[in-house]
Structure 1
Amino acid sequence: MAWNRSRAKYGNRKVVVDGITFDSKKEAQRYTELKLLEKAGKITGLQLQREFELIPAQREHTNEIYEKGPNKGRFKPGKLLECKCSYIADFVYWDGFEMVVEDTKGMRTKEYIIKRKLMLYKYGIRIKEV
């Protein structure tokens, strides 16, 4: 049986608020709450979808050197072996002098749990799950 409509893996539906598309109703609702808190002056510097690099890209070692251009004298990057691994936070904001990293979670995947642990290990940041 063929379906015309695609379904999200975890049953969530995309929602648009202020011209921004969110992955779920829960995430859109949290955005609305945070915007109100920012307007009231309780939080500052609200950012959406901020990326944190957890593991840099792994490249093959090379002895080739650039001979001209802005990188003259530097080593050329080798062949890409592994892409970087990064965590993209739903929301990042400042609560006083503390940076808060928030993620609206409906389902904790194994991948998310590993990235949460790497965030704590590399940056000392505990992700606030809403």
Structure 2
Amino acid sequence: MTNKYKNKKVTVDGIEFDSKMESDYYLYLKQLEKQGIVSEFLMQKEYVLLEGYVKSNKKIRPIKYKADFEVHYADGHIEVVDVKGFLTADFKLKKKLFEYRFPFNLKLVKFSRIDGGWIELEDYEKAVKERKKQKLAK
């Protein structure tokens, strides 16, 4: 089955992931855990970005964000990681709300063979622009 972004659901270790890339990152984190770099990681942790409220006797639901992974490193720092192929307008807004409300770094990653593996989405987009620029210069 595919979702609205044409990702196929994948099952690994009895866990259903929204995409192959997300399941691959899970396996990558398990490897880092075995190496002692990551002490633990949580999956699909929910964060409340804006509390629910009542206005004109109408109950307004909270705005929530469910992260792919919350990663606890052996050195004590924590990162929240979302595996993304691209950014949506909805996610850009949620990212701003998350960063305002929580002290953790929200890292967006994707896998790129040409760039050597897991790379932050922002760095990937810069690298693609640079490759296009170099290609046009030839």
Tell me the TM-score normalized by structure 1.
Answer: 0.76
Query: Once the two structures are superposed, what CA deviation does each residue of 1:1-29 show, in whole Å capped at 9, x if it has no partner?
Result: xxxxx642211100000000000000000
Higher helix share: 2
1:125 alignment partner, one of 101, 104, 116: 104
Structure of higher RCO (CA pairs closer than 8 Å, 6+ residues apart): 1
Q: Take 2:18 and 2:32, find their aligned partners in 1: how far apart are those partners? A: 21
1:86 alignment partner, one of 51, 64, 80: 64
For the Cα contact (< 8 Å) 1:59–1:80, is it kept in 2?
Answer: yes
> Map of 1:66-81 to 2, 5 A cutoff?
80-81=58-59
Q: Take 1:86 and 1:8, find their aligned partners in 2: how far apart are those partners? A: 20
Tell me the TM-score normalized by structure 2.
Answer: 0.72
**Residue type matched to 1:15 in 2?**
V
For the Cα contact (< 8 Å) 1:58–1:81, is it kept in 2?
Answer: yes
C-alpha deviation, 1:33, in angstroms? 0.5
> Map of 1:13-52 to 2, 5 A cutoff?
13-52=8-47
Aligned length: 108
4+ aligned runs moved over 2 Å, structure 1: none
Question: What percent of counterpart residues are identical?
Answer: 36
**Residue type matched to 2:30 in 1?**
K
Rg bigger for which structure?
1
RMSD: 1.7
**Residue type matched to 1:18 in 2?**
D
